[in-house]
Chains A and B, each alone.
Chain A
Amino acid sequence: MEKNKEKAKVLYDMYSFASQNTIISYTGPFDSQVLAVLAANIEYSLSKNPRIRKKIFKIFIELAQNISYYSLEKLDAGDGNEFGIGILIIREFDNHFTFATGNIVDSKKISPVIHKCETINLLDRDSLRQYKRKLRNLPPGIKGGGNIGLVQVALTANNPLDYKLIPLSEEQSFYIINIKIDK
Chain B
Amino acid sequence: MKDIIIKGSRDSYIIPSVNFNYRNGICELSGESFLEETAKFYSPLLEWIREYTTKVQKPIVFIFKLTYFNTSTSKCILDFLHILKKYEDNGGDVVVNWHYYEDDVDMQDDIEDYIIDTGIKINLFILD
Contact = CB atoms under 8 A, between A and B. Distances in A.
A156 B13 CA distance: 22
Interface of A: 32-33, 35-36, 39-40, 51, 54-55, 57-58, 61-62, 65, 68, 129, 132-133, 136-137, 148-149, 151-152, 155-156
A33 B74 contact: no
A70 to B, nearest CB: 13
8 contacts: A36-B12, A36-B13, A54-B104, A57-B68, A58-B70, A132-B113, A137-B78, A149-B70
Nearest to B107: A54
A136 B74 contact: yes
A110 B68 CA distance: 29
A51 B107 CA distance: 12
Contacts of A35: 12
Interface string B1-42: 000000000111110000000000000000000101000000
A157 to B, nearest CB: 11
B120 to A, nearest CB: 14
At the interface, is chain B mostly helix, strand, loop or mixed? mixed
Contact of B12 (A33, A61, A136): A33
B8 to A, nearest CB: 14
Interface residues of B, number: 20
A40 B103 CA distance: 22
B57 to A, nearest CB: 27
Contact of A61 (B34, B103, B113): B34
B109 interface: yes
A156 B68 CA distance: 12
Interface string B56-89: 0000000000001011001100100000000000
B103 A51 contact: yes
Nearest to A147: B71
